[in-house]
A and B are shown apart, each in its own frame.
Chain A
C-alpha cells in the first residue's frame, strides 16, 4: 500500500513569510509525528498526534510553529513568520498503535529553505 506522503518536497520562502507543510499518513495509522532534521543532525521531535487525544506539542520550538490533524488523517504543520534558522528538512511519520514494534514509517520529508 501507499506509504507516508508529504508535500511539497521542497519549499523556498522569504524570511517573515508563513509556510504550510502537509503530511498524509498511512491509511489506518492512528499516530502521527512531526520531526525536524537540521543539516547534519539527527531528528528533533516536534509534535505528536494520537487518535482524538490532545496532541503533544512539547517539541515545538516556538509559538510560531503549530500543527493540526483533520479527521484523524492528514496533518498540516504551519510555521509563521519564518526565520532562517527554520531551514531544515521536516519529516512526518505515522505508526499503528498495537503493532508489535509501534514502528514509525517516515515520509520523504519537505526541505524548507528560508532566504
Chain B
C-alpha cells in the first residue's frame, strides 16, 4: 500500500524568503508519480508540480521546485521568494501506475507567509 507522510506542524515564512515543505512516501511500486497541490482557504485544489519516479532531473515550475531524493523516498517542495498569496494548505500526493491511477494524499501542511 502507498503512504504519504507530511509531519511538519504549521509552517511560517517571511515574505520573499524561501521555504521547504517536507514529504516522504512509501511504495513498493517501482514506477510512480508524485504531485504537490495547493489548497487556499477558498477550498479549490490547485496543481503545482509533478515528479515522475524515473525523471532524471528535479522538477521545476516557476517559483516551485521539487527536491526529489529517491533513495530516501522524499519529495520536498521548495517555494522560492514567498508571496502573501502562498499562504495555504499544501498536499503531497502519490499516484501509482496501475489501472487505477487514484491519488494517495498526505494530511497536508499549513503555510503562512508573514509580511
Contacts and interface: CB of A to CB of B under 8 A. Distances in A.
Nearest to B44: A108
B107 A42 contact: yes
Interface in B82-103: 91, 93, 95, 99-103
A42 B91 contact: yes
Contacts of B44: 106-109
Interface in B13-65: 33, 35, 37, 42-45, 47, 50
B43 A108 contact: yes
Contacts of A43: 45, 91, 93, 103, 105
B47 A105 contact: yes
A109 B53 CA distance: 30
Nearest to B46: A106
A80 interface: no
B102 A59 contact: yes
B91 A109 contact: no
Contacts of A103: 35, 47, 50
Given A45-B103, A102-B101, A103-B50, A91 B108 contact: no
B103 A104 contact: yes
A42 B45 contact: no
Contacts of B35: 101, 103
A42 B43 contact: no
A31 B103 contact: no
B33 A102 contact: yes
Interface of A: 31, 33, 35, 41-45, 48, 50, 53, 56, 58-59, 89, 91, 93, 95, 101-109, 111
Interface of B: 4, 6, 33, 35, 37, 42-45, 47, 50, 91, 93, 95, 99-108
Given A48-B101, A50-B99, 14 more contacts: A35-B105, A42-B4, A42-B108, A43-B45, A43-B105, A45-B103, A45-B104, A56-B100, A58-B100, A91-B45, A93-B45, A95-B101, A102-B33, A106-B37
